[in-house]
Amino acid sequence: MTNPYLSQNEKEMKNEKIENAVNNSATMEQNNLLQNIMPNFNSGNFLQGVLIGAVASYILTNENAQQAIFKSVVRMGKLLQAGTEELKERFEDAKAEIEAEEN
């Protein structure tokens, strides 16, 4: 039974409120279901995992990418080794200067 005293706008507002309430309860049920299935779900962590997985699968399946990565690692190793040798030389120079001052 409808109320004859309600205007059309009031009827529409009442219908919208009812629809919103139904939609909100459905959304809450879906969220509760998701929380029950995956209680620690975090969309930020999910996206991070997707990106890491995509990069890993690209690297594992693309030979050119693998070669480029290996070459970069070898170059970084050579730079590190050269830097270490330079530090050793400086240490030896400082040690020799101290010994020369003592004598």
**What is the residue extent of each domain of the chain?**
1-41, 43-103
User: Residue 14: is its pLDDT beyond 70?
Assistant: no
pLDDT band at 21, cuts 50/70/90?
A: low
Residue 60 to residues 52, 56, 74, 102: CA-CA distances in angstroms? 12, 6, 18, 59
Q: What is the DSSP string of 86-101?
A: HHHHHHHHHHHHHHHH
pLDDT band at 4, cuts 50/70/90?
A: low
pLDDT tens, residue by residue, 26-60 = 566 666 665 666 666 677 888 898 999 999 999 88
The three-state secondary structure class of 14 is helix
Name the pTM for this structure.
0.43
Q: Which residue has the tokens 């029950």?
A: 36
Which tokens belong to 37? 């299935």
